[in-house]
Structure 1
Amino acid sequence: MERYPGDDSPLVRPYLLTGGRSRPARTDLELITLVVAVSEEIREAVGPEQAEIVRLCQEPCSVAEVSALLNLPLMVVKVLLSDLIDRGHLIHRPPPPTTAVPSRQLLQAVLDGIRRL
């Protein structure tokens, strides 16, 4: 496997993990969509990344969290999650549609938090 100079982690091309796909089959996977595993283990042959996703999702986890915990690009994770949902290994709950405008107090708290970074 290829490696970056000074990097101990292997370089795995995203198209290898997704079977060449760059978009998930599902269009309802947003950053804050929660996914949870249906069972503790998968009884069919899957890649190590998909097995790790099922392990991580024993408790509800957002799409963004899965991406961060696996250190994989968001689109790659969406493709893998989409496959696992379609195979019945995961279930998901898209966030409810929001039409309300956030309060000024909430926006100020977010801005204050960003400034502290």
Structure 2
Amino acid sequence: MNASPQDGPWLDDAAGRLIRPYTVSGGRTKPTTALDLLSMVRATGSGLQPHMGPEHGLALRLCAGPTSVAEIAAHLRLPAVVTKVLLSDLVDCGALTARAPRFHTNPSDRSLLEAVLDGLRQRL
């Protein structure tokens, strides 16, 4: 198996994903916490519950500072819905806090969109 260290145990260069995403979430497709891709989550300092898997631990480590659900899904290389289920498990047990995205009165405000574009350009 030729998995690179950052890919975690569920990816293999030749075979692809070794574990189906729905097995990571225990077959669940509905998170118990209302999260969208722009929601910010942050670790509280509480640990994992004993029944949680390694994916929960990896997600929790990614949340040392405020991090968006979209960013966590990208790092985990999991579909957004699976990531939301994992994160909602962590919110439910008190390991994470979640905050809805803050929009100005007009989410399509030109200055807001330009700020987002500038941030993306800096990261690329």
> TM-score scaled to structure 2, two decimals?
0.71
Equivalent residue pairs, number: 110
Letter in 1 for 2:53: G
Letter in 2 for 1:14: P
| Alignment match of 2:72 (pick from 55, 62, 66) | 66
Letter in 1 for 2:58: E
Letter in 2 for 1:86: D
Q: Are 1:48 and 2:84 an aligned pair?
A: no
Letter in 2 for 1:92: A
| Alignment match of 2:90 (pick from 84, 88, 103) | 84
After TM superposition, the structure 1 = structure 2 runs for residues 101-116 of structure 1, keeping only pairs within 5 Å, are 102-104=108-110, 110=117
Contact 1:35–1:90 under 8 Å retained in 2: yes
Cα gap change, 1:107 to 1:25, in 2 (>3 Å): closer
Cα gap change, 1:17 to 1:93, in 2 (>3 Å): same
Q: SS state of the match for residue 96, structure 1? A: coil
How far off its partner does 1:8 sit?
Answer: 4.9
What's the RMSD between the two structures over aligned residues? 3.0
> TM-score scaled to structure 1, two decimals?
0.75
Task: Flag structure 1 segments of 5+ consecutive residues without an equivalent.
Answer: none
Contact 2:38–2:68 under 8 Å retained in 1: yes
Identity %: 42
Larger radius of gyration: 1
Q: How far apart are the structure 2 equivalents of 1:4 and 1:76?
A: 16
How far off its partner does 1:97 sit?
Answer: 4.8
Q: How far apart are the structure 1 equivalents of 2:95 and 2:65?
A: 13
Q: SS state of the match for residue 39, structure 1? A: coil
Cα gap change, 1:9 to 1:91, in 2 (>3 Å): same
Q: Are 1:12 and 2:6 an aligned pair?
A: no
